[in-house]
């Protein structure tokens, strides 16, 4: 059985090869560089001589015939006896889609059927060098609801539903049609067929979904093969009818009128069909269990991909279906088609999901937005003003660097709304007010600290502002000179503040100011070490508070030591 299939395959391949092997494609001898006018181009001497040899007038009628599967366009021309003979055969550079008719706009299918081409369908100003409009949709297409526009035979070798030739081929085809119109031809018949409708080819495509449509076209193909004259075309009941005689009228969508086939044609068709039926039976035996796999456009392009190397991007030739297709066992083809259907369904599902995702996220409605991070709580720090700017002479001759006089602020930890803060600010005592002793100031500081156990406090003692050169020269060296009555010469105040009462928390803020003049520090007070010890004892009641005690006193020097440090 397997050997039988192999023999059948070999026989079919040889048969298919024989369809085109005896009809070599014509080489177009057109040099576009020498073409000054596309419309007025004159046919070459070679083709004119061939027409003369075949008894064809230069302006005699022509007919165009296309076979998709082979990728061939034929030009047939009437001879002296009004019989048509094939004058030219061109290889179609590109056609899109697969075998089968065009049904709707955008399906990438090239038309199949019988189309009349009038002079007005010639386009010398095409973007694809030259073009001939096929006339799709014709009356049959319109009756069957098929639609599409601008289905052409054109140059540029790039197709999307058209039959595309090379520019050289189109130049010659255009000139042949132009001369036929000049000779009085009203319309050029275009026969766009899927393949040569022989018994073998019809048997090979017997399982195609388009087989009924092709069986309808076959009588027109057969009658041209018999008579070598373009058949007369009419449409009724949404079907093609060929060479029918009638006294009625044909309506594309209406019932067919009473009609008959001429007697001579009937006799010729009877003999033709008898031979056809015999050949079909033989072909079916050869194809037992085998079917034809029809390739896609992409598969046809793949076999001629090398032809695109070095060419323009728009140059897109397609191979023939005969080269890209193959005979397969019925079971194998069914499995392959099932896998293809699954892939198509998966592809459609992905496209649907992608479309839904784009729809839902088009305005950012479904895009998750991250929540805002909580901001850190503000950190309150006690600020300490720098000592007053010194005068020119005081800054020039004062002892030590300015960095020694600066007070560093203490870092404060974050506090919440229930906590209280204390800031140290410098202020002078009012005139006439008796400065308080450091011991009293320390006692008040301890009381304030107990009232606010979680408050953050910073106690800073500022050193007296440095005097200028002349001030140190004539001042007494003894600390006794700093009397309490020199109220205007006070250098620093110690202030402990508590925030005012807030309605939200109910906290009570208090403010206590402790001022000490240089004289009071010298006469009544303890030594710096003792004052610091008392301040430390006073703040032990506030374990959560941060305390900073900064104290700086200028060193004493003899009045006569002016320049040393």
**Which residues belong to the active site?**
154, 162
Within its chain, how far is the Cα of 263 from the centroid?
65
Query: Which residues touch 225 (CB under 8 Å, ≥6 apart)?
Result: 272
Query: Which residues touch 149 (CB under 8 Å, ≥6 apart)?
Result: 105
Crossing angle between the packed helical segments 2-21 and 263-286, to the nearest 10 degrees: 140
Which of 113, 147, 152 shows the shortest CA–CA distance to 134?
A: 152
CA gyration radius, the chain: 55
Using CA atoms, how far apart are residues 306 and 358, in angstroms rounded to an integer?
38
Torsion of CA 202, 206, 212, 216, to 10 degrees: 10
**Residue 525 burial by Cβ neighbours in a 10 Å radius (0-12, 13-18, 19+):** middle
Using CA atoms, how far apart are residues 296 and 405, in angstroms rounded to an integer?
92
Q: Is the CB of residue 438 less than 8 Å from the CB of residue 526?
A: yes
**Would you give the DSSP letter of residue 254?**
S
Torsion of CA 106, 112, 113, 115, to 10 degrees: 60
Which of 404, 556, 387 shows the shortest CA–CA distance to 465?
A: 387
Using CA atoms, how far apart are residues 99 and 195, in angstroms rounded to an integer?
9
Phi, psi of 463 (to 5 degrees): -75, 150
Query: Is it true that the peptide bond before 137 is cis, omega within 30 degrees of 0?
Result: yes
Q: Is the CB of residue 90 less than 8 Å from the CB of residue 169?
A: yes
Q: Is the CB of residue 179 less than 8 Å from the CB of residue 117?
A: no
Q: Strand 549-550 to strand 459-460: parallel, antiparallel, or no bridges (unpaired)?
A: parallel
Using CA atoms, how far apart are residues 174 and 133, in angstroms rounded to an integer?
12
Helix, strand, coil share (%) of the chain residues, nearest 5: 35, 15, 50
Q: Is the CB of residue 156 less than 8 Å from the CB of residue 192?
A: no
């Amino acid at each position: 059985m397997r050997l039988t299939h192999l023999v059948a395959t070999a026989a079919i391949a040889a048969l298919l090869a024989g369809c085109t092997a005896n009809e070599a494609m014509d080489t177009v001898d057109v040099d576009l560089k020498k073409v000054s006018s596309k419309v007025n181009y004159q046919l070459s001497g070679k083709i004119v001589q061939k027409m003369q040899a075949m008894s064809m007038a230069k302006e005699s009628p022509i007919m165009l015939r296309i076979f998709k599967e082979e990728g061939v366009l034929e030009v047939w021309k009437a001879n002296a006896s009004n019989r048509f003979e094939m004058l030219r055969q061109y290889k179609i550079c590109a056609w899109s889609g697969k075998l089968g008719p065009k049904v709707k706009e955008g399906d990438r299918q090239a038309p199949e059927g019988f189309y009349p081409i009038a002079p007005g369908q010639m386009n010398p100003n095409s973007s694809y060098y030259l073009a001939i409009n096929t006339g799709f949709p014709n009356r049959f297409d319109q009756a069957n609801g098929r639609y599409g526009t601008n289905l052409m035979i054109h140059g540029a070798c790039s197709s999307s539903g058209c039959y595309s030739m090379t520019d050289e081929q189109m130049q010659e085809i255009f000139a042949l049609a132009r001369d036929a119109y000049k000779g009085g031809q009203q319309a050029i018949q275009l026969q766009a067929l899927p393949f040569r409708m022989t018994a073998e080819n019809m048997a090979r495509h017997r399982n195609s979904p388009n087989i009924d449509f092709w069986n309808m076209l076959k009588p027109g193909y057969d009658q041209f093969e018999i008579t070598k004259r373009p058949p007369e075309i009419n449409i009724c009941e949404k079907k093609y009818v060929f060479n029918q005689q009638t006294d009625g009228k044909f309506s594309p969508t209406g019932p067919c009128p009473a009609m008959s086939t001429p007697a001579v044609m009937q006799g010729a068709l009877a003999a033709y069909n008898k031979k056809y039926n015999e050949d079909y039976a033989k072909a079916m035996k050869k194809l037992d269990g085998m079917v034809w796999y029809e390739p896609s456009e992409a598969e046809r392009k793949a076999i001629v991909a090398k032809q695109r190397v070095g060419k323009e991007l728009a140059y897109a030739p397609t191979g023939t279906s005969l080269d890209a297709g193959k005979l397969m066992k019925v079971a194998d083809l069914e499995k392959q088609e099932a896998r293809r259907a699954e892939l198509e369904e998966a592809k459609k599902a992905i496209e649907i999901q992608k479309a839904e995702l784009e729809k839902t996220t088009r305005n950012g409605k479904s895009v998750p937005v991250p929540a805002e991070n909580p901001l850190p709580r503000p950190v309150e720090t006690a600020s300490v003003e720098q000592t007053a700017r010194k005068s020119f002479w005081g800054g020039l001759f004062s002892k030590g660097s300015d960095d020694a006089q600066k007070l560093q602020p203490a870092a404060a930890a974050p506090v919440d709304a229930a906590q209280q803060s204390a800031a140290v600010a410098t202020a002078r005592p009012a005139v006439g007010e008796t400065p308080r002793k450091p011991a009293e100031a320390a006692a008040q500081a301890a009381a304030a600290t107990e009232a606010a156990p979680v408050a953050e406090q910073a106690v800073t003692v500022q050193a007296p502002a440095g005097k200028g050169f002349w001030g140190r020269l004539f001042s007494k060296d003894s600390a006794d000179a700093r009397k309490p009555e020199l109220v205007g010469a006070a250098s620093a105040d110690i202030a402990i503040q508590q925030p005012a009462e807030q309605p939200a928390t109910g906290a009570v803020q208090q403010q206590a100011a402790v001022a000490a003049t240089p004289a009071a520090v010298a006469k009544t007070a303890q030594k710096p070490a003792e004052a610091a010890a008392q301040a430390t004892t006073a703040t032990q009641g506030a374990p959560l508070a941060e305390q900073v005690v900064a104290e700086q006193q200028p060193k004493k020097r003899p009045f006569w030591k002016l320049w040393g440090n």
